Amino acid sequence: MSTQYTEMEKENQQREIAQKEKQQKTKAKKEKRKKNTIQIIFESSIVVIFSLIFLVPFYFIIVNAMKTRQAAAERSISWPSEFNIIENLKAVVAAQDNMILLAFFNSTVITVSSILILLVVCSMAAFALHRRKGKAITVLGTIFVAGLMIPPAVVPTIWVLEQFNLFKTFPGIILVMVAISIPFSILLYTGFIATIPKEIDEAAAIDGCGSFRLFFSIIFPMLKPIHATVIILNAVTIFNDFVHPLYFFPGAQNATVQLTLYNFMSVYSTDWNLLFANVLLITIPPFILFLIFSEKIVSGMTAGSIKG
């Protein structure tokens, strides 16, 4: 009898232990579900908030671009009672002898030329900064990083451009845009080049490959993901730049797309419908470009986060 009682006691203890473990697992699952639910709600709230921050202004532009001059003057987010988008766009294009077409040409030339220079110069500089070691390289790297924090000086830059007869010229504004974009571009390239093994350089050197041939034949093609990131980020920034063309590239024939906004602004009266239609017109190309290459931008920026 005592043996049977002991066995029954053991079985009861085992059942109690199993029941407690089951209760603990159930409790853990409930807590995990609760945490996941809270996390999902929090993340969804953040997404909704940031979507509203970006989408509401865009909606405001689109709605007012479709209104008549009187309705757009109210600057409200109400849906237009009368659609005037086609007439507004025609007026924007025809303003000041089709200035916006000239502005698109100027902005395209500045953007494309700046991007081509940035791709070559910044990739070469980043490769040298990462592969070479020494005090001079460290100082140069510090200078490039400092360029992210130090704002450009307008008056001295204008004076330098005038000394070299580059003020109000395409080469002048292109050099300015390149200089402003160099620090961040080099930072992106350096992070990506860190993932490329140095053994590739050593193998190429053994095969008799020189520095320039090594870079342009082997390294440069391997930088395609970060090339896409640098192209899109800088293209959107340069194309949408308002301040620097205003300072360093003035003149009616030198207008860029952002400067055409002045056409519809006045001290006494502003054509808000045409102004918003102009904003819509010049926003669409970089916006489409950004949507198409958004995945490549993210992959390129995160590629250098894990060193190979």
Q: Give the model confidence (pLDDT) of 250-283 as tens digits.
A: 888 888 998 888 888 875 678 888 999 999 888 8
Range of the domain at 11: 2-65
Which pLDDT does position 153 carry in this prediction? 84
Tell the residue number behind the tokens 């490769």, with chain if given: 127
Which pLDDT does position 3 carry in this prediction? 58
Q: Is 98 left (phi over 0), alpha (psi -120 to 50) or beta?
A: left
Q: Give the model confidence (pLDDT) of 67-126 as tens digits.
A: 988 888 888 888 888 888 899 999 999 888 889 999 999 999 999 999 999 999 999 999
- Closest of 251, 253, 252, 249 to residue 158, by C-alpha: 249
27 and 102: one domain?
Answer: no
Count CB neighbours of 4 within 10 A.
8
Q: Give the model confidence (pLDDT) of 146-156 as tens digits.
A: 777 887 788 89
Is the model's pLDDT at 142 over the cut of 90?
Answer: no
54 and 150: one domain?
Answer: no
9-23, 24-38, 95-109: which range is least confident on average? 9-23
Q: Is 67 left (phi over 0), alpha (psi -120 to 50) or beta?
A: beta
Is there a domain that residue 25 lies in? Answer: yes
Which pLDDT does position 9 carry in this prediction? 66
Which pLDDT does position 307 carry in this prediction? 45
105 and 9: one domain?
Answer: no
Contact 111, 170 (CB under 8 A): no
125 and 219: one domain?
Answer: yes
Label residue 308 by pLDDT band (50, 70, 90): very low
208 and 128: one domain?
Answer: yes
Q: What is the mean pLDDT of the chain?
A: 84
The phi, psi pair for 268, rounded to 5°, reads -100, -35
Q: What percent of the chain has pLDDT over 90?
A: 25
48 and 109: one domain?
Answer: no
Is there a domain that residue 80 lies in? Answer: no
Extract the tokens encoding 210: 């020189």
Is there a domain that residue 76 lies in? Answer: no
203 and 103: one domain?
Answer: yes
Is there a domain that residue 191 lies in? Answer: yes
Which pLDDT does position 306 carry in this prediction? 46
The phi, psi pair for 195, rounded to 5°, reads -85, -10
Q: Which residue has the higher pLDDT, 239 or 295?
A: 239
CATH assignment of the domain containing 118: 1.10.3720.10
Which pLDDT does position 54 carry in this prediction? 81
Query: Based on the structure, what is the number of domains in the chain?
Result: 2
54 and 201: one domain?
Answer: no
Is there a domain that residue 129 lies in? Answer: yes
SS (H, E, C) the chain: CHHHHHHHHHHHHHHHHHHHHHHHHHHHHHHHHHHHHHHHHHHHHHHHHHHHHHHHHHHHHHHHHCCCHHHHCCCCCCCCCCCCHHHHHHHHHHHHHHHHHHHHHHHHHHHHHHHHHHHHHHHHHHHHHHHCCCHHHHHHHHHHHHCCCCCCCHHHHHHHHHHCCCCCCHHHHHHHHHHHHHHHHHHHHHHHHCCCCCHHHHHHHHCCCCHHHHHHHHHHHHCHHHHHHHHHHHHHHHHCCCHHHHHHCCCHHHCCHHHHHHHHCCCCCCCHHHHHHHHHHHHHHHHHHHHHCHHHHHHHHHHHHCCC
C-alpha span between 188 and 302 (Å, rounded):
9
Instruction: Label residues 31-60 b or e (16+ Cβ within 10 Å = b).
Output: eeeeeeeeeeeeeeeeeeeeeeeeeeeeee
11-15, 75-79, 197-201, 237-241: which range is least confident on average? 11-15
151 and 234: one domain?
Answer: yes
133 and 241: one domain?
Answer: yes
107 and 143: one domain?
Answer: yes
Count CB neighbours of 263 within 10 A.
19
209 CB burial (10 A radius; 0-12, 13-18, 19+): middle
